[in-house]
């Protein structure tokens, strides 16, 4: 069980018979994981996502379970479990949720974000990746130097906004 604060509580050994899904004898040949919450109404917390992803990947590794075998309860029972806000591919979902980082722009980008807000550009996550090789090229040209290396380093939204500000595109 993965609690909202990220604590993982083990209630049975992997070798114990489960009591989670009687259909198709799943109690005898599966391992259950439960995230506390109603995911028809809300999404799992970031702490749950991190802990759950780590726990699931650990079980996949130790028990040699392929990702294709990680299935929601709703596949066997007339329930919505995981919940309607969580897709069947929970691993990709958790990985994506775990990529969310601090929602506050870095201090060096705050003045640029204030200007961008005047244009309605302040709703994106500052650390969210927006870059492609073409955008990286444009940002480097705007700065008139190699500020973002040509390797696969992502360009973040705050870097993009800051570059637009330095290029004089944003209002004063």
Query: Model confidence over 116-146: pLDDT tens digits?
Result: 888 777 555 666 665 555 566 666 666 665 5
| pLDDT score recorded for residue 100 | 60
| pLDDT score recorded for residue 131 | 53
**Does residue 105 contact residue 121 with C-beta atoms inside 8 Å?**
no
| pLDDT score recorded for residue 36 | 92
- pLDDT tens readout for residues 44-90: 888 898 899 998 988 888 889 888 888 888 878 888 888 888 888 88
Cut 0.85: pTM above it? no
CA count, 13 A, side-chain hemisphere, 116: 23
DSSP 119: T
CA count, 13 A, side-chain hemisphere, 4: 6
């Amino acid at each position: 069980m993965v609690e909202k604060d990220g604590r993982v509580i083990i209630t049975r050994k992997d070798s114990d018979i489960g009591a989670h899904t009687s259909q198709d004898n799943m109690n005898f040949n599966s391992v259950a994981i439960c995230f506390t919450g109603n995911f028809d109404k809300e999404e799992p917390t970031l702490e749950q996502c991190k802990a759950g992803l780590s726990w699931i990947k650990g079980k996949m590794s130790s028990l040699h379970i392929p990702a294709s075998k990680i299935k929601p309860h709703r596949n066997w029972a007339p329930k919505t479990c995981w919940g309607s806000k969580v897709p069947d591919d929970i691993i990709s979902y958790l990985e994506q949720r775990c990529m969310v980082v601090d929602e506050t722009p870095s201090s060096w980008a705050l003045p640029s974000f204030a200007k961008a807000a005047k244009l309605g550009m302040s709703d994106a996550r500052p650390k969210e990746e927006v870059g492609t090789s073409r955008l990286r090229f444009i940002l480097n040209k705007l700065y008139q130097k190699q500020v973002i290396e040509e390797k696969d380093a992502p360009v973040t939204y705050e870097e993009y906004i800051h570059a637009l500000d330095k290029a004089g595109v944003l209002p004063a």
